[in-house]
Chain A
């Protein structure tokens, strides 16, 4: 048998990942040119830390996108995670116990999304719009519609802040390491396990998957639960950075997740994309924020530029898929 060695670039999804990383490099060079401080060690370390929440929500949203669905509740679950953990800790609860309760609450949201979309066949946009609103409500409710005060210092509280945000080994913040570990676990799941393959399959052709014996409900629920877990972690990081819980935490992060996933080459139409790309996608997002700030671009202009880049990425994806570009036009 003559299976020719496939070239690395021809593997599905690899080309868009390479493009995304090339984009990261180009952006870094541009910002370096605009402001030499961009490449300074301090700024790069700051940058690595600011990528973390985008990376986490990008992983969650990316996996849900690969199933062909969307999770609008991500930002609210992030806010809920920050508020529940901060409120419990401020009220004197043991930090670890608080985190566990927080985790359970977040996972329940993920399971609910899975049931609504996978079992009751709600359109994902509507189903998760509902949970998005509910979770923001819970984030406001837990501390009677106030942000929490500072979670205080000493013992586990210090350790919590250090591990999730402030301390580092060498140049690497613990928070960054945690995110990379989470990424690696889900990368393994998506690329090397049957569950991951089923996630791709239901996004590619849900009927074919069902007829082949794939449990569509279970698979959908796993994806949504992973997404909720990622939001929970992003919530803890945000809370550790601020030292308090903010009811507004995570506003619009579901969309940042979409952006990170799409820039990284994951299709919102489902079935394709590699989780490696999300690292590049989240980096592009964070670099644009950071670099445009250093270059003294006004906030309004920053938003416009970032928005244009996201639309361009999705447009490119859709055109590539529908054969408008990247394929030879057939002769008339």
Chain B
């Protein structure tokens, strides 16, 4: 028998239309931390969901503590075998106390009555095992910081005897002191013999705790090795790891057209909004596409939402054609010429139950009702607007009365664009413009972006797909943790360089 506590071999998982995992392997040992690395969408979370029984595998073998899993693994079974996940978004009842959360669903009772004293005692003991002595078991979880909540969740996992702990991006929302504390706890867990899977994009921090590394890319297993082996013993030497995460040299498969750079259209100065937009400044020029790259959660979407007036700004200035703007809501941004095609088309981009006509008309009703004292919709203006959108974007549809939700992803995105083209927008921001869109439709979207660029519209695209952002942009700004960490010229940069900027969290652990 091997000394592995968990082995996953030849794991394959297909979602409709996508092969999420293709022949993936994972081997965990007791008392060791395995870093599971890969870009967004590499399949890390899917693999972990299979290990914890949330998803079922199509094929492959899983062995947990020598038990070969026959058939589907479900969450209860996985828990019983000692597998626990600390989710990226914490799953706690904010109103209930620390002890109540830790014992939720398995309360200790004495004669039908909750034994709070005993639960508090055990909660305190469990926390003490992790070296935490200052969490009051009676405190409502909602009153704790996110870092402390995470520790409660770890303690809760240990309470059910978790011997395999999966931590998905545990440091992403923690302060520096909390990260140090969390690493200390991870070391405690190692000493107890817990096998840990650690998913993180913060490569600089790995050397504090990580023993082994598994790298995945595009749903495939790339390699496995010890951390020292891969870095050659030098924790700053991440090139080999990054190269394997990224994998390939990018070939220019995108129809970027060079247009002479014109005058400055948009200027954002020292924008601050919440935790994920910190002192962001940039400029957009006529005739260029400005790309925003970075990891999920880097603050790109938040920056765009703050500019668009969808989120509250704390401070900062936005200038359009040299004039300062006062944007206090999406409506005011639209009227002043800045529009956003949001990340989640179905939720934020379209009213899916309304027709294409209604969707295109919705943000332009001010134009359509212009000149009518009763605010009557001018069908003629509306039809012209629809026709214009239809012909310039080649939206494939029988007629404009079709429900927007019934269109393909690519055509939905075109409807979103069409509604902004109907008015003279100066700046169009695309957040993940081709997410969930098939290859042919992607090229059409890129062509639309090129066309806008030629017309002198300022185009900003936020994209998590490196090849895309490198292929279509004229200039790329990289964000990490709410700040701009770099600016590169896509014509002479590498994915490695962008990833280096995108993971520039600094080493935050003491």
Roughly how many angstroms separate A212 CA and B136 CA in the complex, as a whole number? 21
- Scoring B residues 137 to 154 as 1 if CB is less than 8 Å from chain A, else 0, what string do you get? 110100000000000000
Roughly how many angstroms separate A212 CA and B85 CA in the complex, as a whole number? 12
Q: A200 — which chain B residues lie within 8 A by C-beta? A: 93, 95-96, 100
Task: Knowing A6-B138, A213-B105, A213-B106 are in contact, say whether A208-B91 is a contact too (CB < 8 A).
Answer: yes
Roughly how many angstroms separate A297 CA and B96 CA in the complex, as a whole number? 43
Roughly how many angstroms separate A13 CA and B93 CA in the complex, as a whole number? 15
Could you tell me which residues of chain A, from 59 to 93, have a CB within 8 Å of some CB in chain B?
none
> In the complex the two chains form, is B136's CB within 8 Å of A193's CB?
no
Query: Is A197 engaged at the interface, CB distance under 8 Å to the other chain?
Result: yes
Distance between A89 CB and nearest chain B CB, rounded to angstroms: 36
Query: Is B203 engaged at the interface, CB distance under 8 Å to the other chain?
Result: no
Distance between A277 CB and nearest chain B CB, rounded to angstroms: 15
Query: Is A255 engaged at the interface, CB distance under 8 Å to the other chain?
Result: no
Number of B residues with CB within 8 Å of any CB on chain A: 27
Could you tell me which residues of chain B, from 133 to 173, have a CB within 8 Å of some CB in chain A?
133-134, 136-138, 140
Query: Is A300 engaged at the interface, CB distance under 8 Å to the other chain?
Result: no
> In the complex the two chains form, is A212's CB within 8 Å of B104's CB?
yes
Query: Is B92 engaged at the interface, CB distance under 8 Å to the other chain?
Result: yes
**Interface magnitude class on chain A:** 20 to 34
Choose from B107, B138, B140 the contact partner of A197 (Cβ within 8 Å): B107
> In the complex the two chains form, is A212's CB within 8 Å of B105's CB?
yes
- Scoring A residues 6 to 20 as 1 if CB is less than 8 Å from chain B, else 0, what string do you get? 100001100000000
Roughly how many angstroms separate A194 CA and B105 CA in the complex, as a whole number? 8
Roughly how many angstroms separate A71 CA and B371 CA in the complex, as a whole number? 49
Distance between A275 CB and nearest chain B CB, rounded to angstroms: 15
Roughly how many angstroms separate A3 CA and B97 CA in the complex, as a whole number? 14
Query: Is A328 engaged at the interface, CB distance under 8 Å to the other chain?
Result: no
Task: Knowing A193-B113, A194-B109, A207-B91 are in contact, say whether A201-B137 is a contact too (CB < 8 A).
Answer: no
Task: Knowing A194-B114, A332-B315 are in contact, say whether A201-B128 is a contact too (CB < 8 A).
Answer: no
- Scoring B residues 304 to 315 as 1 if CB is less than 8 Å from chain A, else 0, what string do you get? 000000000011
Could you list 20 further interchain pairs (A-B, Cβ under 8 angstroms) beyond the known A200-B96, A200-B100, A332-B314?
A3-B138, A12-B140, A192-B113, A193-B109, A194-B107, A194-B109, A196-B114, A197-B96, A197-B104, A197-B114, A205-B92, A205-B94, A208-B104, A209-B93, A209-B105, A211-B75, A211-B91, A212-B106, A213-B104, A271-B96
Chain A residues near B (Cβ < 8 Å): 1-4, 6, 11-12, 192-194, 196-198, 200-201, 203-205, 207-209, 211-214, 271-272, 332
Contacts A/B (CB < 8 Å), 25 sampled: A1-B133, A2-B133, A2-B134, A3-B136, A3-B137, A4-B136, A6-B138, A192-B113, A193-B113, A194-B107, A194-B109, A197-B96, A197-B104, A197-B114, A198-B104, A200-B93, A203-B95, A204-B95, A204-B96, A205-B91, A209-B105, A212-B101, A271-B93, A272-B95, A332-B315
